[in-house]
Structure formats: structure tokens, C-alpha cells
């Protein structure tokens, strides 16, 4: 089975801190994604990546950046955390085109910014 592992299940940070969320997948997938999940808003795409060192902005990239130095690892960076970034963050991976493949999700990181 494909496994997508997020480094932390719960994280508490202070306003202004730099925050790193790590995600690793073990199935050699080309595509990796970061979503945030908020009640009533569903999942919103922050950034995605098609390949190593490639990145594309999603729908809500402001306040975030990403890094993909290795194929299996995709990091989400909050340069200066703010309270409105308190959310559940979900990492996902996939291979191939969206019509033929499915997203595999990690269990999520619940981030609280105080």
C-alpha cells in the first residue's frame, strides 16, 4: 500500500515563528500536494509539485512556500506563522493524470498558531 507520512500529528507554534511541515511518500509518485482543511470550506490547494525542484501555486499560496529537493519529500513552509494559518494541513501524492489516478493522503497535521 502507498504510504504518505506527515511528520507531526499535532503542532503548536507562536505567531511569527517559521514552521516546517514535512511529508514523505514511499511509492515514487511524481505529484505531491499540500491542502489545508477548514470547517465549511473543504480542502483548498496551497501548492503542488510535479517533479523534483518543480512547484506550482494552488488557490491559496499566500503566506506559504514549499520545497521539493527529493522526489519522495515535499515540505510546506510558513515563513512567519499567523493565527489565520491555524488549520488542518493535508499532504497528498499521485502519479499520472488526474483522470486515471487517485490522490493518496497523509493523516494530516493539526497546526495551532497562538
| Interacting residue ranges for other proteins, rule: CB under 8 A | 4, 31, 35, 40-45, 48, 50, 56, 58, 90, 92, 94, 97-100, 102-108
Q: Is the backbone of residue 80 left (phi > 0), alpha (psi -120 to 50) or beta?
A: beta
By C-beta, is 45 or 77 nearer to other proteins? 45
Distance CA 18, CA 1 (A): 33
By C-beta, is 74 or 104 nearer to other proteins? 104
C-beta of 61: minimal distance to other proteins in Å? 13
Contact 3, 26 (CB under 8 A): yes
By C-beta, is 6 or 75 nearer to other proteins? 6
Distance CA 71, CA 41 (A): 30
C-beta of 108: minimal distance to other proteins in Å? 6
C-beta of 12: minimal distance to other proteins in Å? 18
**Side-chain half-sphere of 21: how many Cα atoms within 13 Å?**
36
Amino acid at each position: 500500500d502507498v504510504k504518505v507520512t506527515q511528520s507531526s500529528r499535532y503542532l503548536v507554534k507562536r505567531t511569527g515563528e517559521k514552521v516546517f511541515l514535512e511529508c514523505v511518500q514511499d511509492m515514487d509518485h511524481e505529484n505531491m500536494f499540500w491542502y489545508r482543511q477548514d470547517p465549511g470550506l473543504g480542502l483548498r490547494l496551497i501548492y503542488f509539485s510535479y517533479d523534483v525542484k518543480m512547484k506550482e501555486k494552488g488557490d491559496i499560496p499566500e503566506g506559504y512556500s514549499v520545497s521539493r529537493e527529493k522526489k519522495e519529500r515535499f515540505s510546506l513552509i510558513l515563513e512567519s506563522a499567523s493565527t489565520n494559518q491555524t488549520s488542518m494541513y493535508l499532504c497528498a501524492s499521485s502519479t499520472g493524470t488526474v483522470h486515471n489516478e487517485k490522490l493518496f493522503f497523509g493523516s494530516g497535521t493539526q497546526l495551532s498558531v497562538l
